[in-house]
Homo-oligomer: A and B are copies of this chain.
Amino acid sequence: MSTTTFLINGVSDALISPLDRGLAYGDGIFRTIRVINGQPIAWQAHYAKLLADSRRLYLPCPEAASWQEDLGRLFADQGDGVAKLILTRGIAERGYAVGDHAIPTRIVIRSSLPLYPDRNASHGIRAYLCKTRLAHQPLLAGIKHLNRLENVLARQEWSDTVISEGVMLDQDGLVIEGVMSNILIRSGTILATPDLERCGVDGITRQRILAIAPSLGLIPAITSLTLTELMNADEVLMCNSLYGVWQVVDFNGRTWPLGQLAGRLRQFLQE
């Protein structure tokens, strides 16, 4: 186990009530943020997303300063690691109705950066095609909420450590995302990523890459993405806020030569 510390509503050594709706119903949202030298990377984008997600669930979100104060305390050593922010609807009586008195629970957890093999970045990764398919729920699509059983089931499908990520399709067989990542494909000068209006998490790193694309001579596109289109792409990329970008070089019976896009994007994302 890595060293993990956390604050709950700003209190260290506090814990969560079993009556918290985050536990009872997964009634909350979260963020996973890379921290370098005590600084949360892309903080503005992460907080904007936290706020947007909270609004979609009618969840009151604490102001940025509260989160930043927590982050400052947990990373007072100016160290590196991962900050996980969780916001739940708070403690409530049993039952789905949201009471007037619930005070949201603000959780910030510091942990070590996962030990991803260096070769994932330098040589690309092998990915697995998950059998678990994502359900269509437009009301929750895009939100990084605490209802993640589909991802849990998908991640249980493989244990071989040579596989670094799983590709998830939706109920119609369209490509949506990775278990812990978003997906992008380059076909010529088009950089496409699946539409997430019906399922999937609209991640910050995906958003940042779409914004960067034109400066790399690429045309960003949000599309319905079939598995065939992905298999025929010139490059397949996966991304999240912790590892940045990896190229998929081995997936579903095809291999791809290592290209330069993943590395270039990693550089941009660190700037």
Chain A positions within 8 Å of B, measured between CB atoms, are 1-2, 4, 6, 8, 15-27, 30, 32, 57-58, 82, 84, 86, 88-89, 93-98, 107, 109, 111, 114, 132, 135-137, 139-140, 145-156, 171, 179-180, 199
CB-based nearest B residue for A96: B155
Asked whether B149 lies within 8 Å of A93 as measured between CB atoms, the reply is no
Residues of chain B within 8 A (CB-CB) of A16 are 15-18, 20, 23
List 18 contacting pairs A-B, 8 Å CB cutoff, sorted by A: A4-B19, A15-B15, A15-B18, A22-B23, A25-B26, A25-B148, A26-B26, A26-B148, A26-B149, A57-B149, A94-B114, A96-B151, A96-B152, A97-B155, A132-B139, A135-B137, A145-B149, A147-B148
Q: Which 7 A-B pairs have the closest CB atoms?
A: A26-B26, A15-B15, A147-B147, A135-B135, A96-B155, A135-B137, A25-B148
CA distance A113 to B104 in the complex (A): 25
CA distance A15 to B20 in the complex (A): 10
Asked whether A180 lies within 8 Å of B95 as measured between CB atoms, the reply is yes
Asked whether B149 lies within 8 Å of A27 as measured between CB atoms, the reply is yes
Residues of chain B within 8 A (CB-CB) of A149 are 25-27, 57, 140, 145-147
Contact of A25 among B8, B24, B151 (CB under 8 A): B151
A16-B20, A107-B18, A146-B23 given as contacts; is B152 within 8 A of A32 (CB)? no
Q: A74 → chain B, closest Cβ, in Å?
A: 12
List 11 additional A-B contacts (Cβ < 8 Å) besides A23-B146, A96-B151, A135-B136: A20-B23, A24-B146, A24-B148, A82-B94, A94-B111, A94-B114, A96-B154, A98-B156, A137-B150, A146-B149, A147-B147
CA distance A149 to B26 in the complex (A): 7
Q: A182 → chain B, closest Cβ, in Å?
A: 15
Q: A14 → chain B, closest Cβ, in Å?
A: 8
Residues of chain B within 8 A (CB-CB) of A25 are 26, 146-149, 151-152
Contact of A179 among B82, B96, B109, B151 (CB under 8 A): B96
CA distance A147 to B21 in the complex (A): 11
Q: A10 → chain B, closest Cβ, in Å?
A: 13
Contact of A96 among B15, B88, B148 (CB under 8 A): B148
Residue among A8, A146, A154 with the most chain B CB within 10 A? A146
Residue among A4, A57, A94, A153 with the most chain B CB within 10 A? A94
